[in-house]
Amino acid sequence: MARLLAIGLVAGVFSALFGVGGGIVIVPLLVSLAGFDGRRATGTSLAAIGITAGAGALFYGLHGDLKVGSAALIGLPAALGAVGGVALQQRLQTRTLTIGFSLLLTAVGIRLLV
Amino acid sequence: MEILAALLGLLGGVLSGLFGVGGGILFVPTLVLVLGLTQVHAEATSLLAILPAVLAGAWRQQRYGNVDGRAALLVGLGSIAGVAGGVELAKALPEDVLRRLFAVFMLVVAATLAWRAFHPKPAYSSKRDAA
């Protein structure tokens, strides 16, 4: 139980500092520290992020930093995409996609860095 | 720009469902580069934007029996204190420092995903056995 709370604590800092869910932190920690298999770690991570992201949006909202219209513009299509993505995960060879995603992140990361 | 942002939202959602990561990490640069938000506003808005996708994804994963509800609750509750600290830290940092930190975070995630792809059986890869 202490391990799960600690995983959450670390993930919460990452989530709020970078505006992301924190799955990249939670999934490997659930596997390495709590003995989860990959798929169950992914599903459990998503459910936990519901709380993490909700708390982050609330705290930032109290500072007046939320742009609700922009969030809806991106977030509602994303919800449709997420349902499709989970269905694909059950039957797709994801290696090629993973490499493509990695390259995309690298390109955007470099763009933001300079 | 709005249509492009919505399409990138759709893409981010698909990736988050596929990898369990990837919503926010695409939403933040989309909000900064496409919609012109500041880094802090983009991060705040990204957290709200990922909520519908995360809840939809968690609901679907629940149906596949992949959610440990008690563990999710504990991780989620533990995260609240971390979130409070992270928000203060993000707001205390200069805008360009935060943006570059985020960029470095993206590169680390990219490297992690690449490592995952090139190692046949890493601890947290999704297994494609008969599920």
* B61 contacts on A by Cβ (under 8 Å): 42-43, 46-47, 86
Pairwise CB contact (< 8 Å): A84 & B17 = yes
On whether both A77 and A46 belong to a single domain, the answer is: no
Residue B2 in this model has a pLDDT that exceeds 90? no
Q: Which pLDDT band holds residue B130 (cuts at 50, 70, 90)?
A: very low
ipTM of predicted complex: 0.89
pLDDT at B15: 81
What's the rounded Cα separation, in Å, for the pair B79 and B123? 23
Residue B120, CA distances (Å) to A89, A95, B51 in order:
17, 9, 32
On whether both A47 and A76 belong to a single domain, the answer is: no
Residue B124 in this model has a pLDDT that exceeds 70? no
Q: Give the A window 25-84 contacts with B, CB below 8 Å.
A: 26-28, 30-32, 34, 36-57, 59-61, 63, 65-68, 70-84
Domain count, chain A: 2
Mutate which of A66, A74, A99 to disrupt the B interface (most B C-beta within 10 Å)? Answer: A74
On whether both A76 and A52 belong to a single domain, the answer is: no
Whether B4 contacts chain A with CB within 8 A:
no
Residue B127 in this model has a pLDDT that exceeds 50? no
What's the rounded Cα separation, in Å, for the pair B40 and B32? 9
On whether both A58 and A85 belong to a single domain, the answer is: no
More confident residue, B61 or B5: B5
Domain that holds residue B102: 2-119
Query: B95 in a domain, yes or no?
Result: yes
Query: B129 in a domain, yes or no?
Result: no
Among A66, A81, A104, give the residue marking a domain's end. Answer: A66
Domain count, chain B: 1
pLDDT at B125: 46
Residue B131, CA distances (Å) to A39, A82, A86, A90, A92 in order:
10, 19, 13, 7, 12
How many residues are there in chain B? Answer: 131
Query: B87 in a domain, yes or no?
Result: yes
pLDDT at B38: 96
Domain that holds residue A93: 68-114
Query: A22 by DSSP, 3-state: which?
Result: coil
Residue pLDDT, tens place only, B46-99: 999 999 888 887 887 888 899 999 999 999 999 999 999 999 999 999 999 999
Pick from A48-57, B5-14, B116-125 the range whose average pLDDT is largest.
A48-57
On whether both A62 and A79 belong to a single domain, the answer is: no
